[in-house]
Each structure stands twice: as structure tokens, then as C-alpha cells.
Amino acid sequence: MKQLIVEGQHELTGEIKISGAKNSVVALIPAAILSDEEVTLYNVPNISDTKSLLDIINLLGGQVVYQNEMLKIDTKNIKNKVIPEELSKKLRASYYFMGALLGKFHYAEIYFPGGCNIGSRPIDFHIKGFKKLGAEVIIDKDKYIIKADKLKGAHIFLDFASVGATINIMLAAVKAEGTTYISNAAKEPEIVNVATLLNNMGAKIIGAGTSEIKIEGVSKLGTAVVDVIPDRIEAGTYLIIGALVGKDLKISGIIEEHVDALLSKLKEMGVKMYVDSNSIIISRPTKYKAINVKTLVFPGFVTDLGQPMSVLLTQAEGTSIFEETIYENRMGHVPYLQQMGANIKVNGQTAIITGPTELTAKEVTATDLRAGAAMIIAGLIAKGTTTINEIEHILRGYENIVEKLSAVGAQITINEQ
């Protein structure tokens, strides 16, 4: 078991470079198997979710070269295989192999996916989409069997603009006969990144990044190259850290429009930032205004930054409200913040946070990935040394987090027990 040890109240200065986006790369790797040749991804983050997906690529017979953030996947010898539970359970995004295998082989057999415990996380929209394309979906104990004689383009309306369902349906539809329309599609930047890769392979997708996506089926997909977009959640996490303990802390490699909602909230709180092309320089102000934050689909305030943001709200003067609207269980970090001294009242998925409160170091647990990020942020501002347990969650999604924070002056180490 690994722990993080964080000594609080050090000022951070210098530069943190943002890595490739976890939530893009976890879809781009399964998407790669739709090619009959070779796919190259640049800016691939070295996180445990990447490794877990490459284990699945290896199982299917793909040849992988992963060096200096460049990932080449030769898909010529890919064969269809059952994706076993020990691989599918490691992360949520293993479910993208449903769409990719269905699109390529018209057959997918895969155990239920894993991922953070942040709500019930059904995948009924993915399943409905596959069925609309002509597939039969069988649930056999804890495994999905998805098969089709042929896939035919269809008009699919999503009840909710789900990121996962939009991507999975694109993967299943790119080689279907005819044209597929996804209405009320999710608009997150990760979807555009996946559509770009597929189009570079030869797919015909238009409208990715809007709520209406049109996919004209093609019979063959070939060699392609794409850059993984910068991780807007990682960027947002470091911006929040900069707002709390930064002194001219430079966060570089950001696409500003991807973090617009966060920037506007930070400004509302009184945080000063200088935007310089793709970098943001941020410093801690003397005080923060209380604000309200409600998580929404893109371009709204992203759910993955709600927990980190709630730590910043403990330092604002007055009462702030943080409302989570995407998942049912994004408050796992709150009991630990309360133990550290935060004044937070939770009512369902709404937290009422009154500040400012000084936080005191405690032994805490990363109950999920972003709760873990929130615990690191709390540790960085707390008085004393915070110990964070179950940091495997954090390492799934933040590349070199200890190295990046240490390089700008944080006192943070990993303790391997």
C-alpha cells in the first residue's frame, strides 16, 4: 500500500507542465484498434490507466511501443478475445473496448468495467446506442456479450449528454453501413480528440464538439497520428493549488477555453492570474470571496474539479455552495476535510462551506481519484504533515504528481509500505 506524505504551508513557485489528458487517452487507446494498420499518439501520459489499457491491447495481439510520451500501436495482428475481469475491472474506460470491438469485429465479450465509486454509473445509454445500430446485447452474470450480424447507421438520441456513451457509439458506428446521427451528444473536448483520431484514420465524423454528431460509415480505417490534448482536469487541479499556495506559479500547456468555467470562478473569488498564450501564471491573493459552484456538462464547471474546488472554498470569507449535479457520490472527501477543521454541511450532493477555516494535518484517505486530489490540496494548505492513504486512485490519473509538485517547492513524498 502506498501513502502520500504532504507537509503543508509551503509556497509554490516555478513551472508545472500539463500532461496529456487521461480522459482522452483512455478513449484513444481503445479507438486505435479500429485501424487495420498503425496508430501513433503523442503526449501520452504515463499513468496507471494508460498501462491498464495497454495490457488489454497486448492481450488482443497489438504491438505496442511506448517511449517518451509517444505511443505506437500496430494493430495488424489484433484478434478478438474476451476481455477478462482482472483487466476490465481496473478502470472505467475499459468499456470503450465494447464499442471498438463491436465496430471492428461485430462482437465484443467483456466483463463489467471498474472505476471510481462516485455513483451508480449505469451504461444504459451505451447499450441502447449499440442496439439501435443493430447489435444484440446479452448480460451474462457480470459480463456483456454484444454481437451484430451487421451494424447499420441509426438516429440515436441520448437522454443525457454522456461522454462515455457519445464516444462508445462513435466507435461502434464509424464502420457501420450508412449514416449515424447522435443527438444531444456530449461536447467535451475529449470527444473532439477521439473524433480527430478516427477522422485521421479515414472516418467521416462531423459535428464532434457540438450536440449533433453525424457519422458516415466507412469500410476501412488505416494509419493515423494524433496529439492527446492537454489534461484540463490536471490543469484545473494545479490552478486551484496555485490559487492557494502559488507565488507566480506558472501552469503551462493549457488550452484556455477548456478551463474557462474554472477561470471565471477563480476570478470571481478574487484570484489574480495572467494568461500568456498557453500558460497561466497564478498567485495566492490575500483573501478570497465566497462563491457558488454548480457542476455541469461542458462548457459548464466540470464535475472532476468540484472536489478540488471545495477545498479552495474552505478558505473563502463567508458561505459558499458547491453543488454536484452529474454523479450521486462526489462527497467522499468531505468527512476528511471536516476532520481537518473545515466547516462543511452536506445535504445530498450539495455542500455548504463556511470559511475561512484553518486546516490541520490528519491521516486521510483518497476515496476516489478527484477526492484524492482534494486531499493533496488540503494537505498543501494544512498546518502540519498530512498522510493520505489509498493513493493508487490518484496515480491512475495524475502523471508524476509528486515530481511536479516537488519541483515547485512542495514537500511531498510517496511512502511505500
Q: 17-36: buried (b, 16+ CB within 10 Å) or exposed (e) per residue?
A: bbbbbbbbbbbbbbbbbbbe
In the set 2, 121, 131, 294, which binds ligand EPU (CB under 6 A)?
121
In the set 238, 327, 336, 398, which binds ligand EPU (CB under 6 A)?
327
The grid cell for 153 is 447507421
Asked if 116 is part of the footprint of ligand EPU (rule: CB under 6 A), the reply reads: yes
Strands 343-347 and 350-355: antiparallel
Position closest to ligand EPU via CB: 164
Positions 81 through 100 that interact with ligand EPU (CB under 6 A): 92-93
57 to each of 1, 67, 83, 166, 272, how far by Cα in Å?
Answer: 27, 16, 10, 22, 44
Asked if 393 is part of the footprint of ligand EPU (rule: CB under 6 A), the reply reads: no
Q: Which is nearer to ligand EPU, 165 or 241 (CB)?
A: 165
**CA-atom Rg of the chain in angstroms:** 21
Q: Which is nearer to ligand EPU, 171 or 302 (CB)?
A: 302
Q: Which is nearer to ligand EPU, 29 or 269 (CB)?
A: 29
Whole-number minimum distance, CB 354 to ligand EPU, in Å? 27
Asked if 235 is part of the footprint of ligand EPU (rule: CB under 6 A), the reply reads: no
Tell me the residue length of the chain: 417
The grid cell for 137 is 446485447
Asked if 129 is part of the footprint of ligand EPU (rule: CB under 6 A), the reply reads: no
In the set 124, 136, 177, 257, which binds ligand EPU (CB under 6 A)?
124
Q: Which is nearer to ligand EPU, 71 or 271 (CB)?
A: 71
Asked if 26 is part of the footprint of ligand EPU (rule: CB under 6 A), the reply reads: yes
Whole-number minimum distance, CB 303 to ligand EPU, in Å? 5
Asked if 326 is part of the footprint of ligand EPU (rule: CB under 6 A), the reply reads: yes
Q: Which is nearer to ligand EPU, 186 or 282 (CB)?
A: 186
- What type of residue is 264? S
In the set 6, 87, 110, 123, which binds ligand EPU (CB under 6 A)?
123
Q: How many CB atoms lie within 10 A of CB 260?
A: 15
Asked if 119 is part of the footprint of ligand EPU (rule: CB under 6 A), the reply reads: yes
The Cα–Cα gap between 67 and 341 comes to: 44
40 to each of 63, 171, 225, 226, 255, how far by Cα in Å?
Answer: 12, 17, 5, 7, 22
Q: Which is nearer to ligand EPU, 266 or 374 (CB)?
A: 374
Asked if 301 is part of the footprint of ligand EPU (rule: CB under 6 A), the reply reads: no
Asked if 284 is part of the footprint of ligand EPU (rule: CB under 6 A), the reply reads: no
Q: Which is nearer to ligand EPU, 163 or 376 (CB)?
A: 163
Per the rule left: phi > 0, alpha: psi between -120 and 50, beta: everything else, 207 is left
Whole-number minimum distance, CB 333 to ligand EPU, in Å? 12
Residues in binding contact with ligand EPU, number by CB under 6 A: 27
Give the residue from 70, 41, 36, 31 showing the smallest Cα distance to 223.
36
Asked if 42 is part of the footprint of ligand EPU (rule: CB under 6 A), the reply reads: no
- 493549488: which residue's cell? 241
Give the residue from 23, 73, 26 showing the smallest Cα distance to 201.
73
Q: Which stretch binds ligand EPU (CB under 6 A): 62-70, 274-282, 302-310, 384-392?
A: 302-310
DSSP 8-class letter at 228: P
The residues carrying an active-site annotation are 116
- DSSP for 29-62? HHHHTT-SSEEEEES----HHHHHHHHHHHHHT-
- What type of residue is 29? I
Write the binding mask 150 to 189 for ligand EPU: x where contact by CB under 6 A, - elsewhere. ----------x-xxxx--------------------x-x-
Q: Which is nearer to ligand EPU, 35 or 166 (CB)?
A: 166
The Cα–Cα gap between 417 and 404 comes to: 22
Decide if 250 contacts 41 (C-beta within 8 A): no
Asked if 369 is part of the footprint of ligand EPU (rule: CB under 6 A), the reply reads: yes
Residues engaged in binding ligand EPU (CB under 6 A): 23, 26, 92-93, 116, 119, 121-126, 160, 162-165, 186, 188, 302-304, 326-327, 369-370, 397
